[in-house]
Amino acid sequence: MALDMKGKDIISIHDLSREAIDQILATTEILKMKQKLGELYHPLKGKTMGMIFQKSSTRTRVSFEVGMWQLGGYALFLSANDLQLKRGETIADTARNLSRYLDGVMIRTYSHQDLVDYAEYSTIPVINGLTDLLHPCQVLSDIFTIKEKKQVLEGLKLAYIGDGNNMAHSLMFGTAKTGMHITICSPSGFEPDPEITRLSRLDAAKTGATITIEDDPFQAVQKADIIYTDVWTSMGMEDEQEQRMQSFSRYQVNGALLEKAKEDALVMHCLPAHRGEEITDEVVDGPRSIVFDQAENRLHLQKAIMALVI
């Protein structure tokens, strides 16, 4: 029997059961097939979702806005300049007001606690479009992409090379929940948050997955089925760029690193890519790259989430 997810917030993959994740993935597959066949499907006709952006975006805005339209609904873009939040209105009051107008909210912001606080006072579903701590929609679509390419999830090894940031955190939760092994490979001082590591290992203990922290990229990619990377300097950290360029210099995903993984290992990147820094042109444009497949699947996965919770 299908789970009833109506009204549910999507804040962290850690909060989702394996059954909920499976339902999201199955719904994604159906909606992607319908879109490819040109079939109209409008379960959200007459529904409106607010999209609050305090961080700019390419893929998140376009995929959510187009996805909501394809589901028959309307997506309302709200930048930081469009809201009274910056003029002193509380998060609680903004959540209460928008709950009277909208059927759902997607938020892309800096502070994860602001998102949690907003969801506490919202009476409509809240979807995490990205915070400095987590990026669940990206990772759920990545998991869908991996399953699409490899047919299975359990037992695969994913090696993440780069900053222990929001992507690393959500990948740890996503792999742990689905029985995949993950190695996070970051330079000293840039490891994932210890509490996220602890929680993800609790999830992993239930599925047989493993969470490994490593600082040698060539060791990390040994026997890897998936190699994943992200920018070295995330938005809002531009003042650290020079230091980060030095700290991450040996953590580039390039041809030499790819040779140490399995012959059929696939390469992923959540984009935008800083070509020549964390990844080379030959890899991101090479035959093992599924970077643009995973970018496309943001549309289908997020449509599934919206259809299920709104």
CA distance 141 to 63: 12
Helix (H, G, I), strand (E, B) or coil at 66: helix
Q: Active-site residue among 59, 61, 135, 300?
A: 135
Check: CB of residue 155 under 8 Å from CB of residue 180: yes
- 230 is annotated as an active-site residue: yes
Q: Active-site residue among 9, 203, 225, 230?
A: 230
Check: CB of residue 42 under 8 Å from CB of residue 275: no
- 270 is annotated as an active-site residue: yes
Helix (H, G, I), strand (E, B) or coil at 240: helix
**The residue type at 148:** E
Check: CB of residue 181 under 8 Å from CB of residue 146: no
Q: Active-site residue among 23, 54, 70, 138?
A: 138
- 138 is annotated as an active-site residue: yes
Q: Active-site residue among 14, 169, 269, 270?
A: 270
Q: Active-site residue among 14, 244, 298, 300?
A: 298
Check: CB of residue 268 under 8 Å from CB of residue 145: yes
CA distance 40 to 87: 41
**The residue type at 183:** T
Q: Active-site residue among 108, 169, 181, 244?
A: 108
Residues annotated as catalytic are 108, 135, 138, 230, 270, 298
